[in-house]
């Protein structure tokens, strides 16, 4: 009989299956349809869409594999525990910036990053990564502005020293916006690029689930860092809604 554990219900949703009591034939058919829709090769001329498609494609493959396995070996839950507990923190998606300047990942935080984290988190062990948004490129990090990723939420400190928090469960649209019009940046983007020495092709926009704006990252870090954050947040949004 089909499995009705929380993970399988989420995987069924990923494949677009509304019926909880799905057959193996329905699982296979849904997987093929979603794989065709989100295959990265369809977006080879659009880098942003291709990155998003790659992430969707991975989720589709995981959903298909686990639905198929659990269909044959359903997981049973006791009466005392009708629904599974949320996964342990160490199962959360990982993040890596490849040693980019001003970017640190647990447990290899700099001394200053550790101080910033301890100052802003009741439990510093929840910190996953922090990125300096002070716009100083390869110069020493100051963390006058930063984005901090914990296991549950994002904290951003802006130029006004205002701290904003967004739970992953409240994450909405995440977009990499190409700022170049006809291959060229606008005047203000070009000016910011010259001052900071940082590539400015993309802006990373993060919204809340209700559609309101949370933050935008433009010239504070280069595009490679924005892309890492973009993929990580897509993963965290999906992971937090299991």
The answer to whether the bond into 49 is cis (omega within 30° of 0) is: no
Q: How far apart are CA 120 and CA 97, in angstroms?
A: 22
Structure tokens at 214: 């949370």
Domains defined along the chain, listed by start: 6-72 (1.10.287.110), 93-240 (2.30.29.30)
Decide: residue 138, CB within 10 A, 0-12 exposed, 13-18 middle, 19+ buried.
Answer: exposed
Rounded to a whole number of angstroms, the distance between the first and last alpha carbons of the chain is 22
pLDDT for residue 79: 35
Q: Provide the residue-wise pLDDT of the chain in tens; the chain has 242 residues.
A: 466 666 677 778 788 886 656 788 888 888 888 888 888 888 888 877 787 788 778 888 888 888 877 776 665 433 333 333 333 345 678 899 988 889 999 999 988 999 999 988 888 889 999 999 987 554 567 898 999 999 989 999 988 888 899 999 999 999 988 876 555 555 555 555 555 555 567 889 999 999 999 999 987 888 899 999 999 999 998 887 65
Residues facing residue 127 across a β-bridge = 150
Question: Smallest Cα–Cα separation from 33: which of 46, 16, 48?
Answer: 16
Q: What pTM, to 2 d.p., does this model score?
A: 0.59
pLDDT for residue 128: 95
pLDDT for residue 162: 87
Q: How far apart are CA 122 and CA 117, in angstroms?
A: 9
Identify the three-state secondary structure at position 148. Answer: strand
Q: How far apart are CA 205 and CA 189, in angstroms?
A: 16
- DSSP for 174-212 reads EEEEE--BTTB--HHHHHHHHHH----SEEEEEEETTS-
| Residue 241 main-chain phi, psi, to 5 deg | -105, 15
């Amino acid at each position: 009989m089909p499995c009705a554990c929380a993970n399988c219900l989420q995987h069924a949703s990923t494949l677009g299956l509304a019926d909880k009591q799905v057959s193996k034939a329905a699982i296979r058919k849904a997987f093929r349809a979603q794989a065709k829709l989100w295959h990265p090769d369809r977006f080879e001329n659009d880098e942003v869409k291709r990155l998003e498609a790659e992430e969707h494609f991975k989720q589709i493959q995981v959903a298909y594999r686990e639905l198929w396995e659990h269909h044959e070996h359903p997981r049973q839950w006791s009466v005392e525990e009708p629904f599974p507990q949320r996964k342990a923190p160490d199962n959360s998606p990982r993040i890596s910036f490849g040693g980019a300047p001003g970017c640190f990942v647990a447990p290899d935080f700099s001394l200053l990053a550790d101080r910033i984290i301890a100052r802003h988190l009741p439990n510093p062990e929840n910190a996953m990564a922090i990125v300096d948004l002070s716009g100083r490129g390869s110069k020493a990090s100051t963390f006058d502005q930063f984005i901090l990723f914990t296991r549950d939420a994002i904290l951003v400190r802006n130029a006004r020293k205002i701290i904003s928090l967004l739970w992953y469960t409240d994450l909405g649209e995440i977009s990499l916006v190409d700022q170049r019009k006809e291959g060229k940046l606008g005047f203000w983007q070009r000016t910011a690029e010259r001052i900071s020495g940082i590539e400015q092709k993309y802006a990373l926009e993060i919204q809340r689930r209700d559609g309101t704006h949370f933050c935008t990252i433009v010239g504070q870090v280069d595009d490679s860092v924005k892309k890492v954050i973009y993929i990580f947040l897509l993963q965290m949004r999906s992971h937090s809604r299991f």
